[in-house]
Every structure is written in structure tokens, then in C-alpha cells.
């Protein structure tokens, strides 16, 4: 092709409107069997999380969709970063005045969704959220970058702002008060939530939409049973 024959963006035919009904991906053939699972959901999550972080090439493998509902059952969802997990639960941090925190104060039941799309995997955690202790919150806050510490003070999360300039001015004032290298105190209205899992589902995409869905369900004695769900 000669250079003059090349099609430029200006010459290209306008793209047709995207039709979501015809968008399809063929998922992986290998599946997830009961015999593949770890003894506990946290152990299994650790396996998949490690793979998502190393093999999956995901932008933020610890990103999860946190879904809450208020006292009247009105739901809301947002993406939050997981900061710790162990047998006691899954931990994230937020402003206690935010919508999610207000929902959890009224209704502690929560769902966490890890959408690892490039790997055709999802993990869904359902359970009860409780605030982390002050010492645990302070220990995590100290690990945050200086700018993120200031941001926790500058933003009254979920409240209405007149302009972006209002937020920037608040941050600039804090940056002057607590310059780089100076310890920033933990905001009194900021902290963590630990979600104690009652059920954890591991979803693996399969061919022909016959996905594997294996769910750990907590027993009253602290052990777990595993059930297979129809896709």
C-alpha cells in the first residue's frame, strides 16, 4: 500500500453503535472442581489472589465492589481496595461519614465482589461488617503515603461539594500544616471495616456459559461446607 492510499481517522467510516447483545467472550475450558479447593475459603482466596496479582496482569487485583443497603433496603455499590485478609475477615478503610459507612451502621450485612475479568473469575464474599479497632486503624494509617493521609482529612467523603477548588483548598491547607516528613494524626472519623465471611463463592467461567460456581458456607461450629451452584 502506498502512503497516499492509507486510510486516516478522518476518512474512516463512522463506527456503528455498539450492541451489547452481540458481545460475547468464550471462557476458558479448564474449570474448578471440588477436589481443587483448599480447606477454607481464605486459603482458596489466597491462592486465587496470588494468581490474580502475578499471572492475571490485573491493574488492581485488590479492587472489589462493596455493596451495602440502608435500613430501608436501598442498595448502593462502589469500588474499594482490599487492604488485609485473614481468617477473621476482609478489611477495607473509609470515612465513617461516607454512605457505605452509614449504610453499615444501619445494616451490617455486606457483599464484596472481586471482578477478575481477564481470568474469567469472580469471588463473592457475603458477611457482616464491623469496625476495626483504633490501634489497627492507626497502624494501617501510618503505612499510607503522606498525600493519602492528608486526603483522608481533606475529604468529607460522600458529602456535596460546591466546586473542586473547595477540595483542593482544603488539601493545600493541610499540606501546609503537615509538610512531608511530619506525622499526620489519624482522622477521628476515618477507619476500617472487617467483613466476617458467612459465605464465599468462587466463580470460574467455562465454555457454553456452563460456569463452575463453588460456594463455602459457614457452619455454626466454625467449619465450612462446600456446595456447587448451577450456573
Which residues are catalytically annotated? 209
Phi, psi of 63 (to 5 degrees): -75, 135
Q: Where are the beta strands (DSSP E) in the chain?
A: 63-69, 75-81, 84-86, 89-95, 109-116, 121-131, 190-204, 212-218, 224-229
Phi, psi of 168 (to 5 degrees): -65, -35
Phi, psi of 164 (to 5 degrees): -65, -35
- Residue 151 to residues 85, 130, 131, 137, 161: CA-CA distances in angstroms? 24, 23, 20, 16, 15
Contact 45, 123 (CB under 8 A): yes
Round to whole Å and give the CA distance between 198 and 200: 7
184: left (phi over 0), alpha (psi -120 to 50) or beta: beta
Spatial CA neighbour of 229 closest among 6, 9, 13, 32: 32
Amino acid at each position: 500500500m502506498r502512503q497516499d492510499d492509507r486510510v486516516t481517522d478522518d476518512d474512516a467510516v463512522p463506527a456503528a453503535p455498539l450492541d451489547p447483545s452481540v458481545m460475547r467472550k468464550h471462557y476458558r475450558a479448564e474449570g474448578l472442581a471440588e477436589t481443587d479447593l483448599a480447606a477454607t475459603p481464605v486459603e482458596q482466596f489466597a491462592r486465587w489472589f496470588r494468581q490474580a496479582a502475578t499471572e492475571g496482569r490485573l491493574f488492581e487485583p485488590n479492587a472489589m465492589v462493596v455493596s451495602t443497603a440502608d435500613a430501608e433496603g436501598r442498595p448502593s455499590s462502589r469500588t474499594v481496595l482490599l487492604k488485609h485478609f485473614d481468617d477473621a475477615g476482609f478489611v477495607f478503610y473509609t470515612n465513617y461519614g461516607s454512605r457505605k459507612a452509614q449504610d453499615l451502621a444501619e445494616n451490617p450485612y455486606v457483599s464484596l465482589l472481586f471482578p477478575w475479568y481477564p481470568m474469567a473469575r469472580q469471588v463473592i464474599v457475603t458477611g457482616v461488617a464491623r469496625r476495626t479497632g483504633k490501634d489497627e486503624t492507626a497502624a494501617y494509617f501510618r503505612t499510607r503515603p503522606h498525600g493519602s493521609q492528608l486526603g483522608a482529612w481533606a475529604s468529607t467523603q460522600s458529602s456535596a461539594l460546591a466546586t473542586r477548588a473547595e477540595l483542593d483548598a482544603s488539601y493545600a491547607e493541610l499540606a501546609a500544616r503537615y509538610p512531608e516528613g511530619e506525622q499526620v494524626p489519624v482522622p477521628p472519623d476515618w477507619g476500617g471495616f472487617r467483613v466476617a465471611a458467612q459465605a464465599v463463592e468462587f466463580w470460574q467461567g467455562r465454555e457454553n456459559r456452563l460456569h463452575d460456581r463453588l460456594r463455602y458456607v459457614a457452619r455454626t461450629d466454625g467449619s465450612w461446607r462446600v456446595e456447587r451452584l448451577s450456573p
